[in-house]
Amino acid sequence: MSIKNIRALSMNSHFFSVLLQGFLTGFNKPCEIRLIFMALPILLHSESRKKLASAKSTSRMETLFNKPERLENNINISGKVKLAGYVRRYNELKIFSKKALVILYSKKKIVLNEKKIILIEPIKYLDYDGSIRDWIKAAHYLGVVFAKSNEDHLNYFLGVGRE
């Protein structure tokens, strides 16, 4: 399979729309449009997705991504290492987030109200099997975690400035 075909499969806007639908389900309230663009850069990074696999309904950004971790040689490193490269991924994935939102809107899964996205059709990760379930579960819990914070805090925590 060529690199071009692999990229097309791995950067599938329809798959991303399902992830964003899972994120909005976990968010469980009208979501600022800017926040949705912060989701894919976290979900598409395997290290941060692994952290989300252990998330619970009580998890917060700090409990998932700020706790120091101990390496094998007893050296502590910042938990934010799990978010390494976030700003680069954020900038690269904006276009895919936009396409995924268009797909959700055209399928009548969301509506736009001023600067907020309102989910019409929630998605349950338990309805899926295998790795797709893991992806949607991570998206769901990222939404849960984001819902407990505000945009300014997330901008600061993730190092993304207002545009």
In a domain, 4, yes or no: no
The gap from C-alpha 102 to its chain's centroid, in whole angstroms, comes to 17
In a domain, 123, yes or no: yes
pTM for the full model?
A: 0.85
Q: How many distinct structural domains can be found in the chain? A: 1
Please compute the mean of the pLDDT values over residues 120-124 and round it to a whole number.
Answer: 97
Q: Of 10-19, 65-74, 108-117, 147-156, which range is least confident?
A: 65-74
- Could you tell me the residue range of the domain that residue 24 belongs to? 14-158
In a domain, 146, yes or no: yes
SS3 13: helix
Nearest CA among 7, 10, 15 for reference residue 135: 15
| pLDDT tens-digit map of 136-149 | 999 999 999 999 99
> pLDDT at position 77, please?
44
Nearest CA among 52, 35, 22 for reference residue 157: 35
Output DSSP code: residue 84. T
Q: Are 121 and 5 in contact (CB under 8 A)?
A: no
In a domain, 128, yes or no: yes
Give the C-alpha separation, 119 to 102, whole Å.
13
